[in-house]
Structure 1
Amino acid sequence: MDIRTITVAGAGQMGSGIAQTAAESGFDVMLYDLDRQAAGRGIARIGKAISRSVDKGRLTEERKADILNKITLSSDLEDARGADLVIEAAPERMDIKKSLFRALDGICRQDAILATNTSSLSITEIASVTGRPERVIGMHFMNPVPVMPLVEIIRGMATSDEVFGSIRSLAQTLGKTPVEVRDFPGFVSNRVLMPMINEAVFAVYEGVAAPEAVDQVMKLGMNHPMGPLELADFIGIDTCLAIMETLYEGFGDSKYRPCPLLRKYAAAGWLGRKSGRGFYIYE
């Protein structure tokens, strides 16, 4: 399928990053969010990111304008009617994603592809609420999207070879490296990453070391560019907890039990960078 127009559903950090990457690659993009103000914040985030590239001499002002002109905003999901591809980037909750896919299935053309950027949830279950499960697929970008080269591509039980091929080609057009993984909780990236973050939180919870010390050990001893607790703050404590819950529920294995301290931080609203406080304090 020749993909020309893309709707990104969800204008948060991931959605705006996907929209920016698609626009930079020449696609016409509609950035949708139910909250019009959230959509405005998304385009502002994109403008700020592109402006940094201009300041560093990587882009011209003309190129910046061209990219931004490729993006339109909407708070009406009906505007997705003409999209060749919809990439959903809503919060990591199955009820939200099912509701959105059910609505998109009734709005979009029958040949449109519906992709989800879920970081841990079942593609097959999301696809089950649509009348086109063969045209539903997982397209899991890494954060920050414009920088990170990986895209995990996940087939649901019914995803067609044609749709898989189209999405793999699209990922390459976006300058990404597509890697096919199977539809299991957390896929590969978060099945490996999140237990490490969770164990780092346990180290703090049990008094083994302070957050700064845990992160130093992993950066200086393991050559990680960012410590696991810094990374948790960057991803969002609530997102980390949601993924750990998915792993715990999906596998029924105690090794995926979320640390009680992770739950406490989420309950307190200490969600990391986006809230101004997590394992570290941000201005």
Structure 2
Amino acid sequence: MSSEVLYEAIEDFGLIKKEKSKTLFSKIGIVGCGIVGQNFARVASFYGIEVVFIEVSEEKIREAYRNIGKVLDQRIEHWGLTSGEKRAILSRIKGSLDYKDLAGCDFVVEAIRAVDRGGKLKERKAIFKQIEQVVDEDCIIATNSTTIVITELASELVHRERCVSIHFLIASSEAKMVEVVKGLYTSEEAYAKVCKFVQLINRKVIPVEESAGLIAVRMFVVMLNEACEMLMEGISSIEHIDETMRIGFGMRLSPFAMADKMGLDKIVRWMDNIYNEFGDVRYKPSPYIKRLVRAKQLGEVTGKGFYEYDEEGNRIVQTDAKC
């Protein structure tokens, strides 16, 4: 007489069945890990959130890790971080070439580098569609673009109501604020979740109505254009115009220094997009900025813009013989 062995899952005999609960914003994704993406990843990871970022090559992934590590090393040097905390932060950040690794994210931010409005609008729309194919229906999809409105980007998605626009400032990576924008399709639930995330990373929510340039960029480009106008009129030097705003108005980063940090080519694209949207000459890029961009003097990234910089990105201070 043969005996048959039966195998049954022990879980079926449990007295209480519970689904494993998932903490909101336990994992976020970033598409494009340039300066914006790196700051975003570093800050989110600092607050215990798992981060996966998507890049186009292994070289770009390694570059992102190196740059994040450099910023963390600077924090250690200034007693703002320990070596153990640095290791913990980096352990929560993963780079990938595959969009499938975004599966399980609660929040995905598109932060690719812009080139021109037409080409990048199509590319961003394609990225949104790729994200939607791999994430759950309740995952928030956002863009960090300031001059392309979220309604336009989300218009071809199936679940357009979960799309939001945010602006995570890069000129001052520790700026304690994030602009949050609701599009025409954005649901109240999705908007509230994004606001909760911003608070979770210890930033102030700045609500903004959908508009090209939002608050920060629109105000900044007008100020920079006026600074360039005074420079071309010979009213004062780059250094003294900056000092007036930094010392006189308490700006942590003054106009020309801030522009160099952001990248002059990026600023020209911002200005062109806002000018095309509103048609106001205030937003048209100054000839002085365009001249620097044509000469590939883009700011810190190239070692020269309004100011000159060494290999470590530190500004080379010129001695003023007149004063």
Normalising by the smaller structure, the TM-score range is over 0.9
Q: Secondary structure at the match of 1:226?
A: coil
Q: Hey, what does 1:64 align to over in structure 2?
A: 86
* C-alpha spacing 1:234/1:144, structure 2 compared with 1 (3 Å): closer
Q: 2:152 aligns with which of 106, 120, 125?
A: 125
Q: Hey, what does 2:318 align to over in structure 1?
A: none
Q: Which runs of 5 or more structure 2 residues have no equivalent in the other structure?
A: 1-22, 115-119, 311-323
Q: Within 2, Cα distance between the matches of 1:225 and 1:173?
A: 25
Q: C-alpha displacement at 1:145, in angstroms?
A: 6.4
Q: Hey, what does 1:198 align to over in structure 2?
A: 225
Q: Hey, what does 1:230 align to over in structure 2?
A: 257
Q: Which amino acid aligns with 1:7?
A: G
Larger radius of gyration: 2
Q: Within 2, Cα distance between the matches of 1:13 and 1:259?
A: 24
Q: C-alpha displacement at 1:203, in angstroms?
A: 2.3
Q: Secondary structure at the match of 1:179?
A: strand
Q: Which amino acid aligns with 1:71?
A: I
* C-alpha spacing 1:265/1:146, structure 2 compared with 1 (3 Å): closer
* C-alpha spacing 1:35/1:206, structure 2 compared with 1 (3 Å): farther
Q: C-alpha displacement at 1:144, in angstroms?
A: 5.2
Q: Hey, what does 2:40 align to over in structure 1?
A: 18
Q: C-alpha displacement at 1:257, in angstroms?
A: 1.6
Matched, 1:38 2:60: yes
Q: Hey, what does 2:293 align to over in structure 1?
A: 266
Q: Which has the higher contact order (CA 8 A, sep 6+)?
A: 1
1:169-203 superposed Cα distances (whole Å, 9 cap, x missing partner): 01001011111100011111111111101221222
Q: Is this contact kept in 2: 1:90–1:96, CA < 8 A?
A: no
Q: Hey, what does 1:97 align to over in structure 2?
A: 124
Q: C-alpha displacement at 1:146, in angstroms?
A: 4.7
Q: Within 1, Cα distance between the matches of 2:78 and 2:240?
A: 33
Q: Hey, what does 1:149 align to over in structure 2?
A: 176
Q: C-alpha displacement at 1:116, in angstroms?
A: 0.9
- Percent of counterpart pairs with the same letter? 29
Q: Which runs of 5 or more structure 1 residues have no equivalent in the other structure?
A: none
Q: Within 2, Cα distance between the matches of 1:267 and 1:96?
A: 25
Q: Is this contact kept in 1: 2:259–2:299, CA < 8 A?
A: yes
Q: Which amino acid aligns with 2:44?
A: A
Q: C-alpha displacement at 1:27, in angstroms?
A: 0.7
Q: Hey, what does 1:241 align to over in structure 2?
A: 268
- Give the structure-1-normalised TM-score: 0.94
Matched, 1:136 2:163: yes
Q: C-alpha displacement at 1:130, in angstroms?
A: 1.9
Q: Is this contact kept in 1: 2:29–2:107, CA < 8 A?
A: yes
- Give the structure-2-normalised TM-score: 0.83
Q: Which amino acid aligns with 2:207?
A: E
User: Which deviates more from structure 2 when the two are superposed, residues 141-150 or residues 153-162?
Assistant: 141-150
Q: C-alpha displacement at 1:234, in angstroms?
A: 0.7
Q: Secondary structure at the match of 2:108?
A: strand
Q: Hey, what does 1:183 align to over in structure 2?
A: 210
Matched, 1:4 2:26: yes
Q: C-alpha displacement at 1:218, in angstroms?
A: 1.9
Q: Secondary structure at the match of 1:59?
A: coil
Q: Within 2, Cα distance between the matches of 1:144 and 1:46?
A: 16
Q: Within 1, Cα distance between the matches of 2:41 and 2:143?
A: 14
Q: Within 1, Cα distance between the matches of 2:233 and 2:122?
A: 34
Q: Hey, what does 2:108 align to over in structure 1?
A: 86
1:65-87 superposed Cα distances (whole Å, 9 cap, x missing partner): 11111111112223213322111
Q: Is this contact kept in 1: 2:171–2:258, CA < 8 A?
A: no
